A and B are shown apart, each in its own frame.
Chain A
Amino acid sequence: MPIKSSVALASVLGMFLLSGCGAPDVTMYEPGVYKGKQDAAASEEAAAAREGPLRERAQTSFTDR
């Protein structure tokens, strides 16, 4: 009987110690959020920078002469 209680105590202690193992920075899955590499050209600054040239290009390319 004393052996059984010591085994139980050791098991509880072991489980308690093991629960502290593992990486603390667990990555949780966020659905619908882009997971790939960041594209610098996707930013608002980049889009604003190319807006003018693209607008001018469209005006000259597609209007009927």
Chain B
Amino acid sequence: MARMKFLCDAERCIECQACVTACKNEHEVPWGVNRRRVIVMNDGRPGEKSVSVACMHCTDAPCAAVCPVDCFYTTADGIVLHDKDLCIGCGYCFYACPFGAPQYPQQTAFGVRGKMDKCTFCAGGPEEAHSRAELTKYGTNRVEEGKLPLCAEMCSTKALLAGDGDIVADIFRKRVMTRGGRPQTWGWQAAYGQDA
């Protein structure tokens, strides 16, 4: 069985923010919510690196572990999704997530910040595939159409990889062997642990 993963090749990311724009456009994500963002490390200094970050769809997802209403579930191929009808917007998942993936439409107090929103790996949610409800709550369902997340598919430098972990790791391994240097699978240890 495939295990879906994201991997951002920090050597290739040029901080163009196209993945962020593509995600927002594809899923009609409202203002203030960023399912994906580009983080710059050592900004303006030698060795500056950029990494595109979203929900990593962790193996043992901490967001699911702390959710008081148990609205998270994991698909058979490892995509972590949630039911917005159950979410109470408590924010526990935001504090538990090592990647800051959960987002809220309002920056207010407990109970009024709205339903949590996060990357769905372009796999929609627990509504009928391609229905109006799914589009409104979770965005488009590309995985159901045999497509991979748009952020990765349209990445101009192919820095952002998505798909079966074996294929992603194989592509990255070949790159590292070609260019030399140390492999930096940013976030993989935190997200996938032993599975990384």
Contacts and interface: CB of A to CB of B under 8 A. Distances in A.
A62 B156 CA distance: 10
Given A54-B143, A57-B146, A39 B164 contact: no
Interface stretch (B32-40, B49-57, B80-88, B92-100): B80-88
A27 interface: no
A38 B85 CA distance: 12
Given A42-B75, A57-B148, A33 B70 contact: yes
B168 interface: yes
B75 A34 contact: no
Main secondary structure, interface of A, reads helix
Contacts of B28: none
Interface residues of B, number: 42
B13 to A, nearest CB: 14
Interface residues of A, number: 29
A44 B85 contact: no
Contacts of A40: 129
B154 to A, nearest CB: 9
B117 to A, nearest CB: 15
A32 to B, nearest CB: 6
B125 interface: yes
Given A35-B69, A39-B81, A54-B2, A62 B161 contact: yes
